[in-house]
Structure 1
Amino acid sequence: MIHDSQIEQWFREDLGHHDVTNEVPGETTGRLVAKEPGVVAGMAAAERVFDYVGVDVLETTEDGTRIESGDVVLRVSGPAKAVLRAERIAVNVVGHASGVASRTRKAVDAAREVDDEVRIAATRKTTPGLRGIEKRAVVAGGGDTHRLDLSHMVMVKDNHVAEMGLEGAIAHFRDRVSFATKIEVEVEEPEDAPTAAEAGADIVLLDNMRPETTTEAVDLLPGGVLAEASGGITLATVPDYATTGVDVISMGSLTHSAASLDYSFRTGE
Structure 2
Amino acid sequence: MYISNETIDRFIKEDVPYIDLTTLVLEIGGQKGKIQFFSRENAVLCGTEEVARIFNKLNINVTKSCASGSLIKKNEIFLEGEGSAESLHIAWKTCQNILDYSSGIATKTKNLVDKIAAINPNISVITTRKNIPGTKELAIKAVIAGGGFPHRLGLSETILIFKQHLNFLGGIDGLTEILNKVKSKTCEKKVIVEVEDLETAIDLSKKGVDGLQFDKIPFNTLKRNVDIIRDINPSIAILAAGGINENNIEDYAKTGIDAIVTTSVYYAKPIDVGCKIEPF
CA distance in 2, matches of 1:63, 1:10: 18
Does the alignment pair 1:134 with 2:134? no
Match of 1:238 in 2: 249
Structure number with bigger Rg: 2
CA distance in 2, matches of 1:176, 1:231: 30
Matched-pair contact (CA < 8 Å) for 2:65–2:80 = yes
Q: CA RMSD in A?
A: 1.8
Does the alignment pair 1:144 with 2:149? yes
Matched-pair contact (CA < 8 Å) for 1:121–1:251 = yes
Offset at residue 167 of structure 1 (A)? 4.5
Matched-pair contact (CA < 8 Å) for 2:20–2:86 = no
The one-letter amino acid of 1:197's match is S
Offset at residue 176 of structure 1 (A)? 8.1
Match of 2:174 in 1: 168
Shift of the 82–205 alpha-carbon distance from structure 1 to 2, 3 Å rule, reads same
SS in 1 for 2:21: coil
Among candidates 35, 42, 47, match of residue 30 of structure 1? 35
SS in 2 for 1:54: coil
After superposition, what is the alpha-carbon deviation per residue over 1:75-128, rounded to whole angstroms, capped at 9, x for unaligned?
A: 111222112101211110111010001111111111122212111111101122
Does the alignment pair 1:62 with 2:67? yes
- Report how many aligned residue pairs link the two structures: 268
SS in 2 for 1:22: helix
Does the alignment pair 1:191 with 2:199? yes
Q: How does 1:1-269 map to 2 (within 5 A)?
A: 1-23=2-24, 24-164=29-169, 165-169=171-175, 171=178, 174=182, 177-221=185-229, 222-255=233-266, 257-268=267-278
Q: Which runs of 5+ in 2 are unaligned?
A: none
After superposition, what is the alpha-carbon deviation per residue over 1:117-149, rounded to whole angstroms, capped at 9, x for unaligned?
A: 111111101122321211111111111222112
Give the TM-score of the pair, scaled to structure 1: 0.93
Give the TM-score of the pair, scaled to structure 2: 0.90
Shift of the 176–95 alpha-carbon distance from structure 1 to 2, 3 Å rule, reads farther
CA distance in 1, matches of 2:48, 2:113: 21
CA distance in 1, matches of 2:12, 2:46: 20
CA distance in 2, matches of 1:60, 1:75: 7
- Worse overlay, 207-216 or 11-20: 11-20
Shift of the 199–56 alpha-carbon distance from structure 1 to 2, 3 Å rule, reads farther
SS in 1 for 2:149: coil
SS in 2 for 1:264: strand
Matched-pair contact (CA < 8 Å) for 2:183–2:191 = no
The one-letter amino acid of 1:145's match is P
Matched-pair contact (CA < 8 Å) for 2:45–2:99 = yes
The one-letter amino acid of 2:107's match is S
CA distance in 2, matches of 1:199, 1:88: 54
SS in 2 for 1:85: helix
Offset at residue 29 of structure 1 (A)? 1.2
Matched-pair contact (CA < 8 Å) for 2:49–2:67 = no
Shift of the 264–183 alpha-carbon distance from structure 1 to 2, 3 Å rule, reads same
CA distance in 1, matches of 2:124, 2:108: 14
The one-letter amino acid of 2:8's match is I
Offset at residue 22 of structure 1 (A)? 3.1
SS in 2 for 1:249: strand
Offset at residue 259 of structure 1 (A)? 1.1
CA distance in 2, matches of 1:38, 1:22: 32
Offset at residue 183 of structure 1 (A)? 1.8
Offset at residue 16 of structure 1 (A)? 3.1
Q: Which runs of 5+ in 1 are unaligned?
A: none
Matched-pair contact (CA < 8 Å) for 1:98–1:260 = yes
- Worse overlay, 92-101 or 60-69: 60-69
